[in-house]
Every structure is written in structure tokens, then in C-alpha cells.
Amino acid sequence: MNSGVITAMNIRTLGRHFRESGKNLSRNGWMTFASISAVTVTLLLVGVFFVIMMNLNNFASNIEKDVEIRAHLDPAASQQDIELMETEIKQMPEVDTVVFSPKEKELTNLIKDLGEDGQAFRPFEQDNPLNDVYIIKTKTPKDVIKTAKKIETFNYIQQVKYGQGYVEKLFDVVETARNIGVVLILGLLFTAMFLISNTIKITIMARRNEIEIMRLVGATNSFIRWPFFLEGMWLGVLGAVLPIILIGVSYHYFYRLAAPKIDIKFVELLPFTPFIYQISSIMLLLGALIGVWGSLMSVRKFLKI
Amino acid sequence: MIEMSEVSKTYPNGVVAVSNINVKIKQGEFVYVVGPSGAGKSTFIKMMYREEKPTKGNILVNGISLPKLRNSKVPIFRRNMGVVFQDFKLLPNLTVFENVAFAMEVIETHPKEIKRRVMEVLELVGLKHKARMLPTELSGGEQQRVSIARSIVNSPKVVIADEPTGNLDPETSWEIMNIFEEIHNRGTTVVMATHNKDIVNNLTHRVIAIENGKIVRDEQRGDYGYEY
């Protein structure tokens, strides 16, 4: 059994395979065109979907990142207690940053945030009723709830707030949206793989004679496979070119037009670079992989391995 | 060279193509395989180049036991034999030269050697001047000569031909036979299934007749023996 697709060969033979794969593409002109078109259409779909999904994911991450825990300190706590607690919180594995916000700052923020209405709180500057607060961010947004519950049990913590109720719902929605996205992308990828490999299969079916003759004159399976392997790769790569250009250009203009107009907190588009390079590499790789896979699967049938 | 012992072949659909065949073909022999259509000639021939595997018995070719030969080793085994078909089996997109060269490329021969040897065999079959033509631009006889050139380009010890003159007119058939005779005279074993009574009776060699999957006649200098 010849298990390896790629076996040792000399440079001349490799060159021959490259030439052969190129010749085959031009000889089977219409079939090549059909296969490349199939790759182009499906990769365009996958690419557009990727762009949308990754942006949505970015929004979600921005929102999640904004979730913080506010731990209100008991006014009775001494300076020493406060410092001790800070070290204790910092030592928790889930915690990323801890910022101490004294009650004076809290009041200034409150007055500022409320604008005109905030002036009403000015008198409290003399006798501040607010607490000192720890603002805690976790390494992963999901740990917020768990961490908050732990901190609540600490001494001298009066109250812990993280948007109870609201945050749980938010996480649920984001989680569901992400799962749906992953399922859709996987489904689309599977469709793409079968569509492309079927088109390639038809191309190769038309050339079964060629494979039969190769076997007859003593070509090993790996020798037969090589040009097909390369052909599949070309088909995938060539098919990826148009979607990459289309998506790149449209995203460029879309970003220039839309990004300055979006004025909603958390909602911002992923910047053109490096995002578009990532998407392009993914599509190129995907095209090549699907092309090679489709090609090798189809040849396999005629090799009687 | 080729030795079959108690070879039987039953196809998955239950058809018994050959049963209990024993035969020895020595190096340098020229053997006709004759018999009515559907008698098992093709299966007999196909088993020699391991296109079909026997369901029973053993076949030795050049000392290799074909039933035991693994699929992945079949191509290497075939490098020591040439096969010629009734329908030529040329690649339509390749020129005459490329079609013949193909059999040498496959075994990674040096390009210089390929060029020299291909021109040599094209000369032998009388097609040197048509090396750059496509098979579709050639007559049937010429196409068959290309396929013969391809079958012998790697200097195999044995050439197996399945009705090589089946699609050709009598005159062209004789041209083809002369080439086979030339190959035979150079020491190559030739095994040929044929329906051509005229050729078998006039260019006499060993004749093996197969009927209903059995060898019914095996004569050193035989004749065709059928009326059709």
C-alpha cells in the first residue's frame, strides 16, 4: 500500500509535475473554468460571512470586555484592611486588574456623568455618603459572575455590583450568537467542500482514461497523484483570487464610509489591516485545501489503492 | 517466463470466465490465443498483466506471483511488460512523441535518453516523420503503431496484445503483424489474442485455443481452426 501522497523524487520529476499540472489546466479549459467558478462563488459566500461574523464577534467582545465588578468597601475598614484586601483580590487567579477608586473620585464621576442634574449632589462634597470602591476586571469576561460571588464573601465588602441580571442575559445572548455563527460557518464550509470537490470530480472523471493509461505504462500511484494534487491546489488558489479582491475592495470602501458614521458605544468595525490580510490568508488556504482534497479524493477512486 | 497453474476466474456476478488453466510460455515465444467471443481469451490475457486477479490457482510472470502481488506494486511490475489494445488507448491531447515518451517519463528516465529512445522506436514502427502529430491526425494503423512503440519503448521482456488488429483492415493488419514479428525476432515474448484467421494461418506460431474458459488446443505450430 502506497500510503504517502508525497514520496521522495528528484527535482526534474517535480518540475515535470508542475509543468504537467499547468498544461492540464489549460488543456481542460472549460472544466478548469467550471471548477474555478465553483471555488470563487463558494469562497465569496464564505468570505462575506466570515467578515460579518468576525465583526459581530468583535462587537460582542467589546461589550463583554466592558463588564466590570464594583466592590463597595465598608467605611469602617481601616487603611490596613483595605490594603490587605487589595492583595487578596489581586491574588485570585481569575482577576486581571484591580483599581482603587476613593469615594471622592466616585462622587466627582457621578456629578460629571449626570451633567446638569449632577449639580444637585454638590452639597454632598462636604459629607460624602458614598463608599470607596474597587473596580475589578477579570481575565475572561465569563468569570465575572463567579468572581463577584467570591468577593462578596470577603470582610469589609459591603456590596458587589456587576450589572446583576443584565450581565447574565448579555452573556447568554453573545454565547448563542457565537454558536449560531460557528454552526453556520461549518455548514457553509461543508457545502463549499462538496460543491468544489464534486466539480473537480467531474473534471477527473472525464480523464479516467488518462489515469488508466498511466497505470498501464507503470506509473506509481504517487506519480499519478502529484499533478492532480497540484492541479487541485491551483484551482483552489485561482478560485480564491477574485473573492479576495472583491472582499478586500468592498471592505475598504465600506470601512471608509461606515466607520466614521457609527456612533454607538461598543460598536466599531475591525480596521482594514490586519483584518483583511487575515481573511485573505484564510480564504487562500481554504481554497487550496479544498481544491487539493477534492482532487485527491476523486483520483483515489481510479487508483484502486 | 509466464506460468499458470490451475488458474480459475469467476467474476462477482457468477460468470466463470476461465477454469483450471495450466500453461507455460517460455521466454522468446510467440503465442496466439484464439477462440470464439466470450470464451475467456480476454480474461486469460488480462490476468497476465494483473488487470484481473484469478480466484484460484497461481500465475508466475518473470518469477513474480501475481495473485500475491500488492496493488501498489502493480505499476512497478508492469514496467517489464508492454500492453497493446484493440482501441490503441493513446492520450488524445499528446503528440505521437509525447505519447511514447510518457511511458519513459513515468519511470523517471533522463530526458536525453527519452528523446533518443523514443525516436529509435518511432523509427522501428515507421513513424519518425509524424512524431509531432496528434493521434487524431493519424490513421488507425498508424495509431496502433504508436501504441506498439509505447509498449516496447522500455524494452520489456514480454508484449501482450489484446486483438491488436481487431479495428484494422487486412493490409494494415499485416503491417502491424510485421512489427510484432520484428519485436519477436529481437527476443521479446509476444502473447496475442486474435480473431484474425488469415494472420494465424500464414504467420505460424504456437496457438492456444480457449473455449468455455478451458484450453482445448495447444499446438507449437498451429492454425486458427475456426471458420470465422
Q: Compute the distance between CA of residue A232 and CA of residue B210 in angstroms, rounded to an integer.
A: 46
A186 and A243, same structural domain? Answer: yes
pLDDT at A217 exceeding the cut of 50 = yes
Q: Which of A162, A178, A210 is the last residue of a domain?
A: A162
Is B70 part of the contact surface with chain A (CB cutoff 8 Å)? yes
Here the cell at position B32 is 496466439
Is B79 part of the contact surface with chain A (CB cutoff 8 Å)? yes
pLDDT at A5 exceeding the cut of 50 = no
A155 vs B206 pLDDT, higher one: B206
Is B216 part of the contact surface with chain A (CB cutoff 8 Å)? no
Kindly give, in sequence order, each residue whose CB lies less than 8 Å from that of residue A126, ignoring residues fewer than 6 positions away. Answer: none
Contact A217 B106 (CB under 8 A): yes
Q: Which range is least confidently modeled, A65-74, B67-76, B127-136?
A: A65-74
pLDDT at B31 exceeding the cut of 60 = yes
The chain-wide mean pLDDT, for chain B, equals: 92
Contact A210 B91 (CB under 8 A): yes
Most confidently modeled range among A81-85, A145-149, B82-86, B107-111: B82-86
pLDDT at position A9:
65
A155 and A188, same structural domain? Answer: no
Is A221 part of the contact surface with chain B (CB cutoff 8 Å)? yes
A292 and A193, same structural domain? Answer: yes
Within-domain flag for B4? no
Mean pLDDT (whole number) for A33-40: 87
**Confidence label for A304 from pLDDT (cuts 50, 70 and 90):** low
Cβ atoms within 10 Å, residue B99:
27
Q: Which residues of A54-90 are buried (b: 16+ CB within 10 A; e: fewer)?
A: ebebbbbeebbeebbbbbbbeeebeeeeeeebeeebe
Within-domain flag for A4? no
Mean pLDDT (whole number) for A32-40: 86
A36 and A181, same structural domain? Answer: yes
Number of domains in chain B: 1
pLDDT digits (tens, 9 = 90+) for B99-156: 999 999 888 888 999 999 999 999 999 999 999 999 999 999 999 999 999 999 999 9
Is A5 part of the contact surface with chain B (CB cutoff 8 Å)? no
Mean pLDDT (whole number) for A111-120: 79
A241 and A219, same structural domain? Answer: yes
Contact B79 A221 (CB under 8 A): no
> How would you classify the pairing of strands A133-138 and A69-73?
antiparallel
Within-domain flag for A288? yes
Within-domain flag for A23? yes
Provide the residue range defining the domain that includes B120: 28-40+75-219
**Confidence label for B176 from pLDDT (cuts 50, 70 and 90):** very high
A76 and A223, same structural domain? Answer: no
Chain A nearest CA to B225, separation (Å): 32
Could you tell me the CA-to-CA distances from A117 to A121, A290, B3 in Å, in that order? 8, 62, 107
pLDDT at A7 exceeding the cut of 60 = no
Q: Which range is least confidently modeled, A144-153, B57-66, B155-164?
A: A144-153
CATH number at residue B79: 3.40.50.300
For chain A positions 12-71, those within 8 Å of chain B (CB to CB) are: 12-13, 16, 27
Within-domain flag for B45? no
pLDDT at position A272:
80
Q: Which residue from A1, A27, A217 is facing B72, i.e. has the nearest CB? A: A1
CATH number at residue A154: 3.30.70.3040
Q: Which of A113, A144, A162 is the last residue of a domain?
A: A162
pLDDT at A25 exceeding the cut of 80 = yes
pLDDT at position A118:
76
A297 vs A281 pLDDT, higher one: A281
pLDDT at position A4:
42
A297 and A176, same structural domain? Answer: yes
Distance of CA A79 to the CA centre of its chain: 45
Within-domain flag for A2? no
Q: Compute the distance between CA of residue A246 and CA of residue A252 in angstroms, rounded to an integer.
A: 10
A242 and A186, same structural domain? Answer: yes
Interface test with B, best of A10, A213, A302 (most B CBs within 10 A): A213
Task: Answer whether A167's CB lies under 8 Å from A132's CB.
Answer: no
Within-domain flag for B83? yes
Torsion of CA A114, A119, A125, A127, to 10 degrees: -90
Mean pLDDT (whole number) for A155-172: 81
Contact B72 A218 (CB under 8 A): no
A97 and A145, same structural domain? Answer: yes
Within-domain flag for B52? no
Provide the residue range defining the domain that includes A100: 68-162
pLDDT at position B147:
95
A197 and A57, same structural domain? Answer: yes
pLDDT at A275 exceeding the cut of 60 = yes
pLDDT at position B60:
94
Within-domain flag for B2? no
**Confidence label for A38 from pLDDT (cuts 50, 70 and 90):** confident
ipTM score here?
0.81
Q: Compute the distance between CA of residue A45 and CA of residue A184 in angstroms, rounded to an integer.
A: 11
B4 vs A200 pLDDT, higher one: B4
pLDDT at B22 exceeding the cut of 70 = yes
Number of domains in chain A: 2
Cβ atoms within 10 Å, residue B142:
19
Is B45 part of the contact surface with chain A (CB cutoff 8 Å)? no
Mean pLDDT (whole number) for A12-32: 83
Contact A218 B154 (CB under 8 A): yes
Q: Which of A162, A194, A227 is the last residue of a domain?
A: A162
Q: Compute the distance between CA of residue B212 and CA of residue B6 in angstroms, rounded to an integer.
A: 15
A253 and A140, same structural domain? Answer: no
DSSP string, chain A: ----SS----HHHHHHHHHHHHHHHHHTHHHHHHHHHHHHHHHHHHHHHHHHHHHHHHHHHHHHHT--EEEEEPTT--HHHHHHHHHHHHTSTTEEEEEEE-HHHHHHHHHHHHGGGGGGGGGGGTS--PPPEEEEEESSGGGHHHHHHHHHTSTTEEEEES-TTHHHHHHHHHHHHHHHHHHHHHHHHHHHHHHHHHHHHHHHHTTHHHHHHHHHTT--HHHHHHHHHHHHHHHHHHHHHHHHHHHHHHHHHHHHHHGGG--STT--PPPHHHHHHHHHHHHHHHHHHHHHHHHHHHHHHHHT-
Within-domain flag for B1? no
Within-domain flag for B146? yes
Within-domain flag for A245? yes
A76 and A153, same structural domain? Answer: yes
Most confidently modeled range among A6-15, A24-33, B14-23: B14-23
Task: Answer whether A92's CB lies under 8 Å from A150's CB.
Answer: yes
Task: Answer whether B11's CB lies under 8 Å from B17's CB.
Answer: yes
Cell 464594583 belongs to A70
Which amino acid makes up residue A204?
I
Contact A221 B102 (CB under 8 A): no
Within-domain flag for B57? no
